[in-house]
Amino acid sequence: MIKNKKNTILGFCALAALFLVLFVLEKLLPTGSMLFVVLKKGAIYALVAASMNLLNGFTGLFSLGQAGFMLIGAYCYAIFTIPVQHRDAVYQYFDGGLIQFTVPVVVALIMAGLAAAIFAALIGLPVLRLKSDYLAIATLGFAEIIRAIFQWDALGPLTNASNVLRRYPLFSSTLFPFIVAGICIAIIVLLINSSYGRAFKAIRDDEVAAEAMGINLFKHKQMAFVISSFFAGVGGALLAMYQTTIQANAFKSAMTYEILLIVVIGGIGSISGSCIASFLFIACSEWWLRFLDAETYIGAFKVPLLRSGFRKVVFSIVIMAVVLFYSKGLMGDKEISFQGISGFIKDPFGLVSRRKKKTEGVHIDG
Amino acid sequence: MKRVAALALALCLILVLFAGCSGGGSAKSANVIKIGVYEPASGDNGAGGKQETLGIQYANYIQPTVDIDGKTYDVKLVIVDNESSTDKAVAAASQLVSEKVSIVLGSYGSAVSIAGSDTFAQAGIPVVGITCTNPQVTEGNTHYFRICYLDPFQGTVLASYAFNDLGVKKAYCLAKLGDDYSVGLCNYFMEAFEDLGGTVVFETFPEGNTDFTSYVANAKNAGAEVFFAPVSTEAAALIIDQAHAQNLGIPLLAGDTWDSNVILDAAKGKNVSIAVTTFYQEGGNPEFDKGIKEWLNAKGNEQYLANNNGNDEIAAVTAMGYDAYFVALEAIKAAKSTDPGKIMEALWGVSYEGVTGLIEFNDIGDAKRDVAYVKSVNTETGKWDFVGLASIN
Amino acid sequence: MDFINQNLPYILAGISVGGQYALIAIGYTMVYGILRLINFAHGDLFMAAGLIMIYLTASLPLYIAIPLDLIIIAVLGFLIERVAYKPLRNAPRMSIMISAIGVSYLLQNVALYVTGGLAKTYPTIPWISNSVTIFGATTKVVTLVTPVLTLILVVALVLLINNTKIGMAMRAVSRDFETSQLMGIKINTVISVTFIIGSLLAAVGSMLYFTNYTAVTPISGSMPGLKCFVAAVFGGIGSIPGAVIGAFLIGICENIIKGLGWTTFSDAFTFALLIVILIAKPTGLFGEKSTDKV
């Protein structure tokens, strides 16, 4: 118990330090640095990956509908926050659109989550009765249907049909997505450590046994699905703020796959894994590997293979390697903890104690 | 074993990280000015984006230096791929900002231009749009300029060409869902065409669609007399193919995107008639035509030729890219500085006689252009025939 | 007559694309029947078949390029199974599906790199690319060839499965993976053969499909791939006739939807159909009833 308290305090200190570092970085580095792009998008993807992990990793529901819920969140946010004086320009083919009022950013963020959650509750009724792959393909299908509906001309006054939505309020500081995503992820972690979280894990491990123990299967699955969608919706709204414009077109199944890969690389069933993986993933794809796309000369020698698109090939080979050889991902189903970190510093990669009984290098969650 | 491998993988990643950092930092030298090229090299607009980039690269080959206040600077192009996608646009634009470019050229496709716009605005970097024709690109901002005409103009020209010159009363319009360029142009076309007294049928196809059989059949069944499809060249090639296979029998009409040798290839030997409006007609400036053809066919430039679809037919977007580069140089000279803010101010006053005509900006930042070239495909020779100039009366 | 004239193009297009979907859907249904895996990479293999064909015909005559394309795709299908799926045979189902997504991602990105992001034009295969007119509707010969060829291939495949030793082994494995292993069936051979047959059919399908719709891009395979999976689910996963009927149905409905002017929803419709069938009859039209083992 005391140890737990100590951990909580340490955790808060670490978070405070993180925000302080971010704050200082913002003051020191020029705003155009790619670091901030990675940090902003990384934080947003961390939230969405954590929400997907709640579903796939902790409840054992293989859902591929994340992009659809993000789309709902992003649109909901944009529709309710575009300033009225800009609506004529944005909804240029629809006479300024239907909605002629705005709500504050924070309210819109919550509304974005709620809209996604309500939709999830509706489609959850039929879909959650399906098993594993069927559930995956049905949710993927729903995401595609949502995308088509949002592009429908008849809904134009609301969604601007297939045209871009823009000029809604954005965030300028990197701290904003960190704070929002941080709060949301904290709520997810609290949920996982509650009795509901234990019920989710029971369902994941053995549905029949869970039901026999008196866990209402459908109720808990529905709950996980709705909560996960809520946070995906909030993540979608944040993504809209990051992208400055949104278009239903961009929320393809490829986006869901990206998030799924983040979850897998981080470790299915590890929230901290999802967060770390999301920053690594975004940094690799948007920043570190970009030099592979440029034709490079070392002296007069032209480096072979390097040209537009090579970055993605390398990136997907790395991903395949992770999937095949480290199918548990970076963290497996464990979480980062201070014992874990101190253990790692004393004995990195277990090189010292390889022959000995495996030490508790990382604290097992739960 | 696994742990050793993990360690090795981690080391590799760190090495890659260092390589990435050093790669970014090594190019610093005293007299270099960077021009960002923000164009799609993949995705739906990849073909057009590459041709536009070719014009810029050729211009850079012709004029690799610029004199700023008596000092000669090397011009370095920083090319990024925005993947024709609004969700990749911000990262691509940020990449240019972090490379500290002084001015940006691009993009082909209005939606990505709009998506990247705010990132450039925050960094205070001016952008010269080359062929993004949607009005929203320059509206309500001071940093985005463009050297082409706009969709309302182009749509009206096309509508009057269809109604008056082709003499048709019913048009079938096809746009790509979620594409601001084609949806926008269709809208302006429909407005103008209906004002003239015609009727229209409007349909959209989803991204990634390759089956245009039903759309061609729809046009036929609707009794349309002209098929207006201002879509990307990739979809265009498929539409032409289907129009031929189903013996559509009515003219195909499109905007500037179709002015590409992809269309010529697709239409050669087929039973179709195609007319487009565009910015430039090959032969308009023989010196430029000859120079760029030599450059494309030169040894060692196979990659450029491949980017131009394997032949040396010159697309209007290439000529526009060429002009955009020189407009940027004019602005840099006038600003007498590499500072983006000063270049932005200087851009308002630029007046440059390019291969595609005189380029000057009005108070929104759009080029003052009131003439479009209309040309049609000669399906026997696989070349463009010049039809005439069109403007709004 | 007017009615036929107006609507025949949709039906023809539907039957033709349905036949092409059927050839892909068989690959999905066979693999799912045996491995219980949605092979997300199958659609991309179909795209790869198209691209490889383009590069082969650039330097080789057609009568060499076509068989060579089939062989390369069969080998590729075999390799994908060996490298990406076999090591995960005892892993949770989710891991192997993620591996499939990874392969699909890899194939798309390699295609992007090789093509430089530009659409490539498919070579003209003589005769089947010609135009013909039937009842006043003009179309390509391939439209008429596709359903016939599809049916011949399906009949051949059904005969193979019902009458040969390897076919019997396939049926046994799809019925009970572990027991058939105990009975001495070489599971790895059976799985490899399944992948090779599936890949071959996808390669044939790609030749027909891209002759009709001549542009190949890195993402050409993903939407047809998803639709074909839906077709396989619709017909009852594991059932070859089911997959074929499902594919034809989806192909025809899709074109009718476009003909009715609901073009925005032509892709979404397929998924709506999927959800309806999953909820009403999760085993599909011809699927076998499965019982949950406790």
Q: What's the N-to-C CA distance of chain A in angstroms?
A: 14
Residue contacts between B and C (CB atoms, under 8 Å): 106
Task: Count Cβ neighbours within 10 Å for each residue of C15-49 and write b for 16 or more, e otherwise.
Answer: bbbbbbbbbbbbbbbbbbbbbbbbbbbbbbbbbbb
CB contact under 8 A, A290 and B117: no
Which chains have 3+ CB pairs within 8 A of C? A, B
Taking only the tens place, the pLDDT of each residue in C113-171 is: 888 777 888 888 888 877 778 777 777 888 888 999 999 999 999 999 999 999 999 88
SS3 A365: coil
* Residue B8 maps to a domain: no
CB contact under 8 A, A354 and B3: yes
* Residue B3 maps to a domain: no
Residue of chain C with shortest Cα separation from B218: C259
Least confident of A304-308, A338-342, A351-355, B241-245: A351-355
Contacts of A98 (CB under 8 A, 6+ apart): A157, A158
| Mean confidence (pLDDT) of chain C | 87
| Mean confidence (pLDDT) of chain A | 85
**Segment B265-288 mean pLDDT:** 86
**Same domain (yes/no): B145, B50:** yes
Q: Is A161 exposed, middle or buried (0-12, 13-18, 19+ CB in 10 A)?
A: buried
Taking only the tens place, the pLDDT of each residue in A200-233 is: 999 998 888 999 988 999 999 999 999 999 999 9
Max Cα-Cα span within chain C: 63
Percent of chain B having pLDDT more than 90? 36
**Same domain (yes/no): B381, B349:** no
Give residue A360's pLDDT. Answer: 43
Half-sphere exposure of C111 (CA within 13 A, CB side): 30
B103 touches B125 (CB < 8 A):
yes
Chain A (306-365) residues lying within 8 Å, Cβ to Cβ, of chain C: 307-310, 312-313, 315-317, 319-320, 323-324, 327
**Same domain (yes/no): B171, B271:** yes
- Residues of B within 8 A of A172 (CB-CB) are 122
Taking only the tens place, the pLDDT of each residue in B20-36 is: 444 444 444 568 999 99
Distance CA C139, CA C247 (A): 21
Give residue A356's pLDDT. Answer: 47
C5: closest CA of chain B, how far (Å) = 9
List phi, psi (to 5°) of B222: -75, -10
Beta-strand relationship, B144-146 and B170-176: unpaired
Give residue C286's pLDDT. Answer: 79
| Interface with A, mutate which of B26, B90, B107 (most A CBs under 10 A) | B90
Listed residue (B283, B279, B272) closest to B248, CA to CA? B272
Q: Is A249 on the interface with C (CB under 8 A)?
A: no
Q: Is A136 on the interface with C (CB under 8 A)?
A: yes
Give Cα B203 distance to the centre of its chain.
24
A13: closest CA of chain C, how far (Å) = 36
Distance CA B216, CA C251 (A): 17
Taking only the tens place, the pLDDT of each residue in B217-252 is: 889 888 999 999 999 888 898 899 889 888 888 999
A303: closest CA of chain C, how far (Å) = 16
CB contact under 8 A, A312 and C99: no
CB contact under 8 A, C117 and A309: yes
Residue of chain C with shortest Cα separation from A293: C113
Listed residue (B213, B284, B224, B214) closest to B253, CA to CA? B224
- Residues of A within 8 A of C233 (CB-CB) are 134, 137
CA C133 vs CA C130, C137, C147: distances in Å: 10, 5, 17
Max Cα-Cα span within chain A: 73
CB contact under 8 A, C109 and A312: yes
Q: Which of B95, B119, B183 sits opposite A290 (nearest CB)?
A: B95
**Same domain (yes/no): B208, B253:** yes
- Given CA atoms A119, A244, A254, C46 in this order, what sign does their dihedral have? positive
Residue of chain A with shortest Cα separation from C94: A62
Q: What's the N-to-C CA distance of chain C in angstroms?
A: 59
Give residue B28's pLDDT. Answer: 45
**Segment B187-196 mean pLDDT:** 93
* Residue B2 maps to a domain: no
| Mean confidence (pLDDT) of chain B | 86
Neighbours of A99 (CB within 10 A): 15
Taking only the tens place, the pLDDT of each residue in B197-224 is: 999 999 888 877 878 888 998 898 889 9
CB contact under 8 A, B234 and C264: no
Task: Cis check for the bond before B107: say yes or no (omega within 30 of 0).
Answer: yes
**How wide is the angle at C-alpha B379 spanned by C-alphas B375 and B381, nearest 5°?**
95
**Segment A111-139 mean pLDDT:** 90
Domain extent, residue B217, equals: 151-278+373-390
Give residue A352's pLDDT. Answer: 53
B92: closest CA of chain A, how far (Å) = 8
| Interface with A, mutate which of B9, B98, B110, B187 (most A CBs under 10 A) | B98
Strand stretches in chain B, DSSP E? 32-39, 65-68, 71-81, 103-105, 127-129, 144-146, 170-176, 199-205, 226-228, 252-254, 274-278, 351-354, 357-360, 372-378, 383-390
Band of pLDDT at residue C282, cut at 50, 70 and 90:
confident
The two three-digit tokens of residue C100, written as one number:
């499939």
Residue of chain B with shortest Cα separation from A41: B91
Contacts of B182 (CB under 8 A, 6+ apart): B174, B175, B176, B229, B230, B231, B232
- Residues of C within 8 A of B216 (CB-CB) are 9
The two three-digit tokens of residue B363, written as one number:
């108070």
Distance CA A277, CA C104 (A): 20
Listed residue (B12, B63, B80) closest to B332, CA to CA? B63
List phi, psi (to 5°) of B174: -130, 125
Band of pLDDT at residue A120, cut at 50, 70 and 90:
very high
Taking only the tens place, the pLDDT of each residue in B135-172 is: 888 888 889 999 988 888 999 999 999 999 899 999 99
CB contact under 8 A, B95 and A294: no
Interface confidence (ipTM) of the complex: 0.86
**Same domain (yes/no): B292, B231:** no
CB contact under 8 A, B41 and A308: yes
Distance CA A52, CA C214 (A): 38
Neighbours of B358 (CB within 10 A): 11
The amino acid that residue B131 corresponds to is T
Taking only the tens place, the pLDDT of each residue in C62-115 is: 999 999 999 999 999 999 999 999 998 888 777 888 899 899 999 999 998 888
Residue of chain A with shortest Cα separation from C269: A145
A282: closest CA of chain C, how far (Å) = 16
Give residue B341's pLDDT. Answer: 92
Question: Is A91's pLDDT higher than 80?
Answer: yes
Band of pLDDT at residue A2, cut at 50, 70 and 90:
low
- Please give the CATH number for the structural domain made up of C2-280: 1.10.3470
Give residue B265's pLDDT. Answer: 85
CB contact under 8 A, C101 and A260: yes
Distance CA A33, CA A259 (A): 24
Listed residue (A260, A194, A251) closest to A227, CA to CA? A194
* Residue B202 maps to a domain: yes
Which residue shows structure tokens 């309020």? Answer: A169
Report helix, strand and coil shares of chain B as percent, to nearest 5: 45, 20, 35
CB contact under 8 A, C98 and A323: yes
**Same domain (yes/no): B62, B141:** yes
Question: Is B273's pLDDT higher than 70?
Answer: yes
Taking only the tens place, the pLDDT of each residue in B62-101 is: 999 998 888 899 999 999 888 888 888 888 999 899 888 9
Band of pLDDT at residue B8, cut at 50, 70 and 90:
low
**Same domain (yes/no): B141, B161:** no
Domains of chain A by start residue, with CATH: 34-291 (1.10.3470)
A224 touches A61 (CB < 8 A):
yes
Taking only the tens place, the pLDDT of each residue in B307-336 is: 887 788 888 889 999 999 999 999 999 998
Percent of chain C having pLDDT more than 90? 40
The two three-digit tokens of residue B376, written as one number:
């049609």
Listed residue (A292, C106, A330, A306) closest to B16, CA to CA? A292
Q: Is B311 on the interface with C (CB under 8 A)?
A: no
Which residue shows structure tokens 């874990």? Answer: A340
**Same domain (yes/no): B123, B185:** no
CB contact under 8 A, C139 and B246: yes
- Residues of A within 8 A of B19 (CB-CB) are 291
**Same domain (yes/no): B140, B238:** no
> Residue B335 forms beta bridges with which residues?
none
The two three-digit tokens of residue B209, written as one number:
């669609």
Would you list the domain boundaries of chain C?
Answer: 2-280
- Given CA atoms A342, A344, A347, A350 in this order, what sign does their dihedral have? positive
Q: Is A8 on the interface with C (CB under 8 A)?
A: no
**How wide is the angle at C-alpha B323 spanned by C-alphas B322 and B326, nearest 5°?**
95
CB contact under 8 A, B118 and A244: yes
* Residue B20 maps to a domain: no
- Residues of A within 8 A of C274 (CB-CB) are 137-138, 141
Distance CA A228, CA A233 (A): 9
**Same domain (yes/no): B186, B137:** no
**Same domain (yes/no): B265, B323:** no
Q: How many domains does chain B have?
A: 2
**Same domain (yes/no): B291, B260:** no
Q: Is B242 exposed, middle or buried (0-12, 13-18, 19+ CB in 10 A)?
A: buried
CB contact under 8 A, B7 and A151: no
Taking only the tens place, the pLDDT of each residue in C263-281 is: 888 888 888 988 888 888 8
Q: Which of C118, C214, C259 sits opposite B46 (nearest CB)?
A: C118
* Residue B16 maps to a domain: no
Band of pLDDT at residue A300, cut at 50, 70 and 90:
low
Which chains have 3+ CB pairs within 8 A of B? A, C
Give residue A339's pLDDT. Answer: 66
Q: Is C36 on the interface with A (CB under 8 A)?
A: yes
Listed residue (B308, B284, B294, B282) closest to B48, CA to CA? B308
CA B59 vs CA A243, A351, B256, B325, B393: distances in Å: 32, 58, 21, 6, 34
Distance CA C31, CA B118 (A): 48
Report helix, strand and coil shares of chain A as percent, to nearest 5: 70, 0, 30
CA C1 vs CA A190, A254, C7, C12: distances in Å: 69, 45, 10, 16
Give residue C6's pLDDT. Answer: 74
**If you write DSSP's letter for every residue of chain C in order, what string do you get?**
-HHHHHHHHHHHHHHHHHHHHHHHHHHHHHHHHHH----TTHHHHHHHHHHHHHHHHHHS-HHHHHHHHHHHHHHHHHHHIIIIIGGGTTS-HHHHHHHHHHHHHHHHHHHHHHHTT--EEPPPPTTTTSEEEETTEEEEHHHHHHHHHHHHHHHHHHHHHHHSHHHHHHHHHHH-HHHHHHTT--HHHHHHHHHHHHHHHHHHHHHHHHHHS-EE-TTTTHHHHHHHHHHHHHH-TT-HHHHHHHHHHHHHHHHHHHHTT-GGGHHHHHHHHHHHHHHH-TT-SSPPP-----
**Which 8-state DSSP code applies to residue A94?**
T
Q: Is C182 exposed, middle or buried (0-12, 13-18, 19+ CB in 10 A)?
A: exposed
SS3 B353: strand
CB contact under 8 A, C264 and B177: yes
- Residues of B within 8 A of A313 (CB-CB) are none
Contacts of A106 (CB under 8 A, 6+ apart): none
Contacts of A342 (CB under 8 A, 6+ apart): none
**Segment A134-161 mean pLDDT:** 88
* Residue B103 maps to a domain: yes
